[in-house]
Amino acid sequence: MKKRHLIYTALALVLAWPLGAVVQAQTYPVKPVRLIVPFPAGGATDLFARTLSQKLSEKMGASLVVENRPGAGGTLGSDLVAKAQPDGYTLLLATSSTHSIGPNLNPRMPYDAVKDFTPISQVGNAPSIMLVPNSSPAKTVKEWIDHAKKNPGRLNYASSGNGTIVQLTAELFKSQADVFVVHIPYKGTALAIPDLVSGKVDVLFDSLPTGLPHVRDGRLRALGVTSLKATPLAPGVPPIADVLPGYESTTWFGLFGPKGLPADVVTRVNAAANQVLQDPEVIDKLHRLGIEPVGGTPAQFTTMLAKESAKWKKIISERKITLD
């Protein structure tokens, strides 16, 4: 009799376990979710987060509160999430700089970009645009490369500072095109535009929202975009990859949780994000920010992260790029 009772008890526990998991998946979230943005309010990442937040709240059935925690190039906010409880109530909207570039530039990062986070979903890509002065003899990417090869060390490119995606995009271009072009760092690409327009600077890889208006106004010439394929964000501008096969440099955006985030929570947030990224209103707002919605599975996001980290690690090492 006692043996039969033990068998029934064990069977009840086995049957109850998946039921408990289902209940947990159905009840999350039961309180507001914090979405940490590790950059200041008003920037691209912040605007992206606020574009997603309302629709995500609707899909998840709970309030999603955007919280800006800027500092140290995105490190402070990211570290906050890395050390948060893995319960799904503290999430992070991260970028290339916090998880692909920064960890390869700064050996003293307070977190491990791979081990301390749970990837949930890649949510966006922001390609850049290759800009040259109207006085440039080059009308195409190939012509610019030929021009640079005929004038080694005489041409220059502007960036928004050492170790930024703007510099790395140019250095990746130099590496694949095998050209020698001098780096001139500025405190932001906006400060470089006047020198580019006047011809003091020969090329700049700028973001679409800040670069395209100058092209439309006829002040600068666009030669190519840094996405692997043509993008509707820059109609008529060919990808640089048409000339340099495989060339790609974009700022990616992605959702993370702390390490150890339960699988059911990952699935819930990922599914909600994918639904939101198909919403026409969200797509329109992201396009205005120069961002292409992405989506996909956590596994796809994880694979992309590994490739991005390896790519920038190679460029940073080969080109001896530092933050100084």
Same domain for 105 and 202, yes or no, is no
pLDDT confidence band for 107 (50 / 70 / 90): confident
Q: At what angle do helices 263-276 and 44-60 cross, to 10 degrees?
A: 110
Please indicate, yes or no, if residue 274 is contained in any of the structural domains: yes
**Under 8 Å between Cβ of 66 and 37:** yes
Please indicate, yes or no, if residue 231 is contained in any of the structural domains: yes
Same domain for 220 and 158, yes or no, is yes
Of 107-111, 132-136, 305-309, which range is least confident?
Answer: 107-111
Per-residue tokens: 37: 């943005």
Work out the burial of residue 253: count CB atoms within 10 Å of its CB; fewer than 13 is exposed, 13-18 middle, 19 or more buried.
buried
Same domain for 42 and 186, yes or no, is no
Q: Which residues contact 62 (CB under 8 A, 6 or more apart)?
A: 29, 30, 31, 32, 33
CATH of the domain at 68: 3.40.190.150
Domain boundary among 242, 258, 281: 242
Same domain for 137 and 227, yes or no, is yes
**Under 8 Å between Cβ of 259 and 320:** no
Higher pLDDT, 24 or 66: 66
Q: How many domains does the chain have?
A: 2
- Give the chain's mean pLDDT: 93
Please indicate, yes or no, if residue 41 is contained in any of the structural domains: yes
Q: Which residues contact 172 (CB under 8 A, 6 or more apart)?
A: 247, 249, 311, 315
* Residues 40-89 pLDDT 10s: 999 999 999 999 999 999 999 999 999 999 999 999 999 999 999 999 99
Same domain for 189 and 257, yes or no, is no
Model pTM greater than 0.85?
yes
Report the alpha-carbon distance of residue 219 to residue 163 in Å, rounded. Answer: 27
Predicted local distance difference test score (pLDDT) of residue 238: 98
pLDDT confidence band for 1 (50 / 70 / 90): very low
For 12, other C-beta atoms within 10 Å of its C-beta total 10
Whole-number Cα distances in Å, 193 to 45, 87, 115, 133, 189? 22, 45, 39, 10, 6
Same domain for 53 and 202, yes or no, is no
Report the alpha-carbon distance of residue 97 to residue 117 in Å, rounded. Answer: 15
Per-residue tokens: 43: 């920037």
Report the alpha-carbon distance of residue 130 to residue 114 in Å, rounded. Answer: 31
CATH of the domain at 197: 3.40.190.10
Report the alpha-carbon distance of residue 204 to residue 194 in Å, rounded. Answer: 11
Name the amino acid, one letter, at 316.
Answer: I
Same domain for 73 and 205, yes or no, is no
Domain boundary among 189, 209, 242: 242
pLDDT at 26 over 80: no
At 222 the three-state DSSP class reads strand
pLDDT confidence band for 15 (50 / 70 / 90): very low
Cα torsion 139, 190, 107, 228 to 10°: value is -30
Domain range for 308 is 31-126+250-318
Name the amino acid, one letter, at 131.
Answer: L
Please indicate, yes or no, if residue 1 is contained in any of the structural domains: no
